[in-house]
C-alpha cells in the first residue's frame, strides 16, 4: 500500500470535503455518479495528493480509489501506463 499515513491524511481530506457539503447539496452525488472521469486534489498538502476520485476515473485509468488516494497525479505517467491512456486522462 502506498504510504499508509499519507493516504489516510488524503482520505480524511476527501471525507471532509464531501461532509462539508450539506446533505441537500447535489455536488457529492453528482461527482460520484457522473460518467466524466474526475479527481480532486488538495494543493494545501505536500505534493498535492489526490483526495477523491470517482468510479469513471477508476474505469479509465484502471486504478482503484484506494490506489489513487494519497498519490500525486504523476502516477499516470509511470512505466505501467501507455502514452495513449495518459493522454486520454489529461484531455478531459
- Look up cell 494519497; give the residue: 70
78 vs 26: CA distance, rounded Å: 34
- Contact assessment for residue 70 and residue 6, using Cβ atoms and an 8 Å cutoff: yes
Per-residue cell: 92: 478531459
With a cut of 60, say whether residue 89 has pLDDT above it.
no
Q: Cα–Cα distance between 45 and 29 in angstroms, integer?
A: 25
For the entire predicted model, the pTM comes to 0.61
2-23 pLDDT, tens per residue? 567 777 777 777 777 666 655 6
Domains of the chain: 4-90 (3.30.450.20)
Predicted confidence (pLDDT) per residue in 25-73, tens digit:
777 778 888 899 999 999 999 999 998 899 999 999 999 988 999 999 9
Amino acid at each position: 500500500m502506498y504510504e499508509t499515513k499519507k493516504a489516510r491524511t488524503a482520505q480524511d481530506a476527501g471525507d471532509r470535503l464531501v461532509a462539508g457539503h450539506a446533505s441537500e447539496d447535489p455536488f457529492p452525488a453528482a461527482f460520484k455518479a457522473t460518467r466524466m472521469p474526475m479527481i480532486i486534489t488538495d494543493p494545501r498538502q505536500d505534493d498535492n495528493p489526490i483526495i477523491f476520485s470517482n468510479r469513471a476515473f477508476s474505469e479509465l485509468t484502471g486504478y482503484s480509489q484506494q490506489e489513487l488516494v494519497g498519490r500525486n497525479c504523476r502516477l499516470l505517467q509511470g512505466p505501467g501506463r501507455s502514452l495513449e491512456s495518459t493522454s486520454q486522462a489529461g484531455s478531459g
